[in-house]
Structure 1
Amino acid sequence: VALAKLSVEQREALLLVGAEGVSYEEAAQICGTNFGTIKSRINRARTRLAELLALDAQEDLGPDRLVKAALFVHSAS
């Protein structure tokens, strides 16, 4: 439900990188935008999800791998 409250662009970027495991560069190509925009969308999406789920710490996430992947996407080099 929280994912549905994100903008389409943020949700798409977050799921591509966090759930599908594509690189930021690949996500940018898929979305037809640049690397910096993807990083920004993912950062904003993670922040918004944390707000929606009222999360303060990683321990609050529990065992759900998809939520962990979405919120704690590794940063691209």
Structure 2
Amino acid sequence: MQLPYDQRESLILVGASGFSYADAATICEVAIGTIKSRVNLTRQRLAALLAINRLDTHGPAPTTRAVLNGTGRPDSRKV
């Protein structure tokens, strides 16, 4: 299953490229709420596709977790 283009674009702009939601909305020529919705939906879909359990301490690399968590930076987990 592949993610729709608009969802991939939104996640790449916000999650990987570091654009703000407002800047991503301007680039995509949509409302800021649309970008927020797309990014959230895409993060959920990716987590499901990758079978990622956010509580799993042995899961994906820190950068992957950061994109899925929406923090823009690797989280520091306490084990």
TM over 0.5, yes or no?
Answer: yes
Greater share of helix residues, 1 or 2?
1
Structure 1 residue aligned with 2:60: 61
TM-score by length of 1: 0.80
Aligned length: 69
Shift of 1:68: 2.6
Please provide the CA RMSD for this pair: 1.6
CA distance in 2, matches of 1:31, 1:53: 26
Shift of 1:62: 2.5
Structure 1 residue aligned with 2:25: 28
Matched, 1:7 2:4: yes
Give the letter aligned to residue 44 of structure 2.
T
Structure 2 residue aligned with 1:39: 36
Query: Deviating runs (4+, > 6 A) in structure 1?
Result: none
- 1:20-47, CA deviations, whole angstroms, 9 ceiling, x for partnerless residues? 0000000000001001000000000000
**RCO (CA 8 Å, sep 6+): is it higher in 1 or 2?**
1
TM-score by length of 2: 0.78
